[in-house]
Amino acid sequence: MILDARPERVTRELATLVPAESLRIERMNARDGYLETAWYDAKTGRSFAGARDLPDLPASVKIRCWADPYVPGQTRLTVEAVYRPRYDPSLPERDLEVIVPKDHPGSGIAGRLIEKAKQRVGVPKAAE
């Protein structure tokens, strides 16, 4: 998705939108255009600091957002929602992550974040 704002602004806007979805920000760097949430159990509505504490792996989701420079004054926004289908302490956490299917609640959260970001900062006329 192309947005009509610089990456720093898009990242800061996302930082205000994420808590509205009941998510907790785990990492954020506006200068680098990156935001990552803590794990979120979509069934219970609770956030978790670590993946080992997740009571329901299939229902838990992590959202990552990248706001990359596109052309001067515009940003290419990528929002990724992942879950972990299983727990395996012998592998790095990220190696077990899988993109959520379209019918997963995490996909809906990612879609709402994109739509709200579009409303907040706008899209270039050519992208409409």
Q: For the chain, which residues make up each domain, given as ranges?
A: 2-121
Gyration radius (Cα) of the chain, Å: 15
Nearest to 117 by CA among 76, 69, 72, 62: 76
CATH class of the domain at 2-121: alpha beta
pLDDT in tens, 50-107: 766 778 888 899 999 999 999 999 999 999 999 998 888 888 888 989 999 999 999 9
pTM for this entry: 0.89
**Inter-CA distances, 108 with 80, 96, 113, 126, Å:** 11, 21, 9, 26
Q: Which residue has the tokens 């290419």?
A: 76
126 Cβ neighbours under 8 A, 6+ residues apart:
none
